[in-house]
């Protein structure tokens, strides 16, 4: 058994060698196919920039290709197995030997089994030992197929290594994309930061190619700033053909917004404008420093003066931060351009957002993955104005047309102002600016008991007691920081309480000293008459022909003057206009012929607790005469009436002197 050890070792070595060559021949096409498949996938993915579903399909196709290579070239060789006897038979055929080598190996492997004559077994074993010394077991072994496949594999491996050395970033990104990552292949232009309406949606250090979803107000502009790291030649030349914001609507419509490359001069101008606005806000506490104000200023400042933006973000809570922001801005302007020349800045704006959209940003040869701008509706405000007139003018409640914002109110009225959101948006803050000749003031609205549903103007305000014309603007901010597209404006005109009107008439103006002439009168007012008085004064004729005037009813100079009340109580508006007659008893006045009695009607309107305004009628004069004078006056009046009647008849009949 030990005599054939060398021969058996050579057979085993040949078996192992053939197995290694067979495995190499089998695995070489599999590795080559795998590398070529990866190269093809890389080329297709690089040229067409496949998305995740497309890359999944590509991986399935590549896997099926590798499976076919395995079944076609690898599996047949790997499934082939050789024993020592098979190798010995192959050696015998290669050298034209009989089966002595196989027999010697079999006899040596089983010495305890009785195969016949011991002398014959010994002779066969010794012959096998002699053959092991004389022949070359590896003679005739073919390497042609292995060499071809190994050579092809070597070329592919060298190309793969060269690709890794020359394009390491591309290779890294490719394998990340094979794992369905969102990385993009390296580009000359690198987007560092993207800001939409003041919100950072892309930061290269955190998510280099996939912007986060953001929100924008309905009907409002969408402003975009893109900060890029690009070669200086690209900054100077720009990318006018490819710099754009692409939007895709839910209805399949597309919208392209061109991005403008801002020059260093443009950016410096924007910084100076921001400095002026911040300086104005720092000096005027009435300017509201809030999110919307920051959204208008912060984007430009964020890139060219980032420390100033940090202070601006603190300014809503601490207005002193505005001074710190101003200091940083002045430093940036003084050192301009400084680090601003190391990157480019692009700007674009969509005028109005009417629906939620998907968007992609393209700058130079760089682009972002799709992201979404979700449209949020603006608050729709229902404003309620209720006029509360003074207590004495209750009829004023019906004078306001429903929904009107142009009010005409009585002096001293109160205008109750309340509002609510008509589209179920929650209001966070509401205030009104009231302007008049006296100035402009701001008044906050409050929600009773924190219900956040109805907001009301409370406390003592210019609308609580209207004494002059004024205008107002209602502002509302919802929980999303949005305001209506425009403030709700209104105007309050002042309608004064007109004084009453009073008229008086007499049938006969010449009366006897003891007559009782009847005075007819008529009064009216907006809201009622509190007092109605008839004032009487007498002009007496003295012996020397001069007249003196007294205001007594008895004619006694010592008697205190008094007026004659014509109404027992105040006249409400539903009793107006009020007409009446009053008979004046002349006898107690002690009048003589030639005396005159002047009558004046005074009406005082009703204004609640405030004093009313008085109006007097035109005075009416009664002339005192004897019977002859009275008859003459009556005759004259009749004659005048007759002449007037004749003139009227002639006018109607066309009768008269011809020219």
pLDDT tens digits along 195-215: 998 888 999 888 888 999 999
454-456 vs 439-444, strand pairing mode:
unpaired
Domains of the chain are 5-178 (no CATH), 190-376 (no CATH), 381-495 (2.60.40.1220), 501-625 (2.60.40.10)
DSSP letter assigned to residue 618: P
- The Cα–Cα gap between 152 and 594 comes to 149
- The Cα–Cα gap between 373 and 248 comes to 10
Ranges of residues in the chain with a pLDDT under 70 are 1-4, 92-134, 136, 140, 230-241, 291-292, 394-403, 449-452, 542-562, 568-569, 609, 633, 636-659
Unique residue bearing structure tokens 């009225």: 413
Q: How far is CA 304 from CA 123, 269, 510, in A?
A: 99, 11, 98
Q: Share the mean pLDDT of the chain.
A: 81
3-class secondary structure, 386: strand
Q: How far is CA 368 from CA 214, 582, 602, in A?
A: 15, 96, 86
Unique residue bearing structure tokens 């005192």: 624
Residues 6+ apart with CB under 8 A from 91: 11, 14, 97, 101, 135, 137
Query: Which 3-state string (H, E, C) describes 72-112?
Result: HHHHHHHCCCCCHHHHHHHHHHHHCCCCHHHHHHHHHHCCC
- The Cα–Cα gap between 489 and 12 comes to 102
What's the confidence (pLDDT) of residue 365? Answer: 87
- Smallest CA-to-CA distance from 105 within 169, 37, 246, 10 is with 10
- The Cα–Cα gap between 375 and 485 comes to 14
What's the confidence (pLDDT) of residue 155? Answer: 95
**CA angle at residue 207 from 206 to 208, to 5 degrees?**
110
Q: How far is CA 415 from CA 178, 394, 395, 461, 494, in A?
A: 69, 14, 15, 10, 12
Helix axes 5-48, 84-95, angle to 10 degrees: 100
Q: At 447, list the tokens.
A: 């929600």
DSSP letter assigned to residue 553: S
564-565 vs 528-541, strand pairing mode:
antiparallel
N- to C-terminal Cα separation, the chain: 174
Q: How far is CA 656 from CA 521, 640, 641, 645, 647, in A?
A: 38, 18, 19, 14, 9
Contact 30, 69 (CB under 8 A): yes
What's the confidence (pLDDT) of residue 364? Answer: 87
544-573 b/e with 16+ CB inside 10 Å = b?
A: eeeeeebebbeeeeeeeeeeeebbeeebeb
406-410 vs 381-388, strand pairing mode:
unpaired
Q: Where are the beta strands (DSSP E) in 250-343?
A: 254-258, 260-262
Q: Is the pTM of this model over 0.75?
A: no
- Smallest CA-to-CA distance from 495 within 406, 434, 602, 405 is with 406
470-478 vs 427-436, strand pairing mode:
antiparallel
- Smallest CA-to-CA distance from 267 within 303, 311, 230, 312 is with 303
Cis ω on the peptide bond leading into residue 337 (within 30° of 0)?
yes
- The Cα–Cα gap between 120 and 474 comes to 122
Q: At 551, list the tokens.
A: 């205001």
Cis ω on the peptide bond leading into residue 447 (within 30° of 0)?
no
User: Which secondary structure element, helix H or strand E, spans residue 151, and what is its range?
Assistant: helix 144-166
What's the confidence (pLDDT) of residue 616? Answer: 83
- Smallest CA-to-CA distance from 413 within 401, 438, 431, 395 is with 395
Number of neighbouring beta carbons within 10 Å of residue 16: 12
**CA angle at residue 429 from 427 to 433, to 5 degrees?**
125
190-196 vs 199-203, strand pairing mode:
antiparallel
What's the confidence (pLDDT) of residue 584? Answer: 81
Helix, strand and coil content of the chain, in percent to the nearest 5, comes to: 40, 25, 35
């Amino acid at each position: 058994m030990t005599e054939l050890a060398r021969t058996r070792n050579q057979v085993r070595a040949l078996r192992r060698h053939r197995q290694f060559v067979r495995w190499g021949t089998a695995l070489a096409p599999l590795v080559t196919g795998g590398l070529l498949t990866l190269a093809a996938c890389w080329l297709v993915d690089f040229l067409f920039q496949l998305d995740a579903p497309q890359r999944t399909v590509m991986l399935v196709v590549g896997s099926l290709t590798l499976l076919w290579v395995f079944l076609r070239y690898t599996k047949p060789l790997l499934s082939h197995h050789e024993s020592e006897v098979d190798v010995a038979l192959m050696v015998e055929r290669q050298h034209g030997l009989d089966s002595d080598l196989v027999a010697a190996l079999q006899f040596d492997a089983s010495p305890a089994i009785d195969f016949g004559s011991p002398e014959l077994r010994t002779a066969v074993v010794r012959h096998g030992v002699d053959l092991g010394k004389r022949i070359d077991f590896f003679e005739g072994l073919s390497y042609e197929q292995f060499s071809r496949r190994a050579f092809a594999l070597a070329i592919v491996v060298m190309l793969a290594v060269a690709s890794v050395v020359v394009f390491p970033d591309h290779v890294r990104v490719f394998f990340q994309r094979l794992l369905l990552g969102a990385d993009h292949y390296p580009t000359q232009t690198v987007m560092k930061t993207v800001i939409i309406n003041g919100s950072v949606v892309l930061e290269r250090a955190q998510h280099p190619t996939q912007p986060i979803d953001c929100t924008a107000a309905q009907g409002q502009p969408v402003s975009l700033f893109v900060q890029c790291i690009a070669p200086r030649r690209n900054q100077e030349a720009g990318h006018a053909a490819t710099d754009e914001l692409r939007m895709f609507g839910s209805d399949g419509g597309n919208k392209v917004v061109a991005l403008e490359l801002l020059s260093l001069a443009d950016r410096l101008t924007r910084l100076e404008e921001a400095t002026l606005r911040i300086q104005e806000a720092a000096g005027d506490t009435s300017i509201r420093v809030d999110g919307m104000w920051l959204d208008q200023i912060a984007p430009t400042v964020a890139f060219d003066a980032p420390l100033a933006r940090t202070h601006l973000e603190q300014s809503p809570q601490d207005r002193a931060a505005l001074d710190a922001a101003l200091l940083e801005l002045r430093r940036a302007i003084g050192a301009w351009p400084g680090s601003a020349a190391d990157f480019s800045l692009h700007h674009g704006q969509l005028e109005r957002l009417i629906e939620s959209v998907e968007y992609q940003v393209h700058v130079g040869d760089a682009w972002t993955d799709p992201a979404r701008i979700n449209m949020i509706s603006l608050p729709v405000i229902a404003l309620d104005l209720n006029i509360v007139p003074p207590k004495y003018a209750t009829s004023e409640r019906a004078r306001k047309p429903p929904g009107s914002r142009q009010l005409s109110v009585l002096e001293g009225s109160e205008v109750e102002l309340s509002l609510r959101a008509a589209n179920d948006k929650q209001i966070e803050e509401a205030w009104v600016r009231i302007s008049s000749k006296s100035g402009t003031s701001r008044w906050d609205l409050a929600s009773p008991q924190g219900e956040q549903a109805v907001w009301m103007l409370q406390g003592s305000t210019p609308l609580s007691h209207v004494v002059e014309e004024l205008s107002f603007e209602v502002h509302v901010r919802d929980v999303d920081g949005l305001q209506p597209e425009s403030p709700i404006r209104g105007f309050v005109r002042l309608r004064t309480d007109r004084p009453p009107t009073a008229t008086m008439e007499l049938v006969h103006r010449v009366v006897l000293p003891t007559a009782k002439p009847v005075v007819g009168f008529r009064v009216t007012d907006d809201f009622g008459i509190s007092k109605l008085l008839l004032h009487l004064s007498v002009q007496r004729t003295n012996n020397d022909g001069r007249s003196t005037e007294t205001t007594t009813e008895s004619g006694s100079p010592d008697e205190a003057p008094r007026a004659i009340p014509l109404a027992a109580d105040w006249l409400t508006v539903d009793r107006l206009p009020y007409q009446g007659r009053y008979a004046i008893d002349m006898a107690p006045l002690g009048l003589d012929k030639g005396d005159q009695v002047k009558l004046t009607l005074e009406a005082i309107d009703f204004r609640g607790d405030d004093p009313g305004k008085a109006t007097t009628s035109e005075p009416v004069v009664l002339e005192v005469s004897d019977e002859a004078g009275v008859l003459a006056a009556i005759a004259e009046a009749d004659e005048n009436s007759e002449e007037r009647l004749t003139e009227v008849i002639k006018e109607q009949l066309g009768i008269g002197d011809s020219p």
